[in-house]
Amino acid sequence: MKALIFLLWSFILTGNAGELIRVAGSSTVLPVIAEAARHYHTAHPDVSIAVSGGGSGVGIATVLQGGADLGMSSREPTPAEWTRLRQRRIRLVAIGRDGIAVAVSKAVVEGGVDALSLAQIAAIYRGEIRNWKTLGGPDRTILVIDKERGRGTRHVFAKVVLGHAMARAPGASVVAGSNNEMQALIGRSDNAIGMLSYAWLNDKVRGLPLRINGRDIPPAAETIRNGGYPLRRDLFLLVPETARAAVIDFVQFLLSPKGQSLVRQCGYLPLP
């Protein structure tokens, strides 16, 4: 997937006069919403849908401030965010599921690293393990890539791996924003590790299995679905109770069989 392609739809789909729905937030959720917007606009040409990214924190903040009709988030709100969302009668609606891969450069896997434990990943991000050779891989310094603090992917990853959603990662030397940026950084390197939605893995960006109690659990649809893979999450829309009829109808489209097929088409898991 290429996030830029989906971002371009935000311009294409706002060209006609009529009702406008503004959606902002998570770069993980964005491909689903952009693809759904294309299909919805075809069936409802009088409704234009503008989709923009920026991260889950941006999606939550923007819908709270009234700058978007819908917010996209790949994490649950923080307690402080929940308080404000309830005050403004904004609810969280799950539209799909995802897994976060511990993503590494292809050369790392080819060099001998076939799985990592959560403790080993934490040690990498804390700066306690600095060379792949320590983990049975090539003799290369580990390029540790973090994500921006407001990103949903980081919140879920840090909570599971580091013990707290806002935990620091002193071992990281690079900070990425969108999935597209993280994917590019890992793919161009021969020694990188990062956190990435499993739907964005490819030949150059490999998802390592997690070694848990002697078993290697890969980031795959089945392990995410059955709960065996711990780095998993729901994908959300933030929907104001006072939303216009067209906004509610678009959300209902996403929850319909057709909308859920688009979730699967974008590489994520539809709701059970």
Give the C-alpha separation, 50 to 13, whole Å: 6
Contacts of 63 (CB under 8 A, 6+ apart): 24, 25, 69, 70, 71, 90, 238, 240
Q: Look at residue 11 in the predicted model and tell me its pLDDT.
A: 38
Give the pLDDT band of residue 266 (cuts 50, 70, 90).
Answer: very high
Average pLDDT over residues 177-181: 93
Q: Look at residue 17 in the predicted model and tell me its pLDDT.
A: 55
- Asked which of 3-17, 20-34, 112-126, 207-221 is least confident by mean pLDDT, the reply is 3-17
Q: Where are the domains of the chain?
A: 3-98+233-265, 99-225
Full-model pTM: 0.89
Average pLDDT over residues 1-13: 40
Average pLDDT over residues 135-155: 96
pLDDT at 200 over 90: yes
Give the C-alpha separation, 3 to 179, whole Å: 8
Q: Look at residue 98 in the predicted model and tell me its pLDDT.
A: 97
Give the C-alpha separation, 162 to 251, whole Å: 34
Q: Are 196 and 97 in contact (CB under 8 A)?
A: no
Domains 3-98+233-265 and 99-225 share a fold: yes
Assigned architecture for domain 99-225: 3-Layer(aba) Sandwich (3.40)
Average pLDDT over residues 95-106: 98
Please give the class, per CATH, of domain 3-98+233-265. alpha beta
Share of the chain above pLDDT 70, in %: 94
β-strand 174-176 against 70-73: which pairing, if any?
Answer: unpaired
Q: Look at residue 15 in the predicted model and tell me its pLDDT.
A: 47
Average pLDDT over residues 64-90: 97
Beta bridge partners of 49: 21
Q: Look at residue 18 in the predicted model and tell me its pLDDT.
A: 82
Does 4 or 152 have the greater pLDDT score?
Answer: 152
pLDDT at 106 over 70: yes
pLDDT at 67 over 80: yes
Q: Are 72 and 86 in contact (CB under 8 A)?
A: no
Q: Look at residue 62 in the predicted model and tell me its pLDDT.
A: 97
**Cα separations (Å) of 28 from 138, 199, 233?**
31, 9, 11
Q: Which two three-digit tokens encode residue 25?
A: 């937030």
**Cα separations (Å) of 91 from 28, 29, 65, 84?**
19, 17, 15, 11
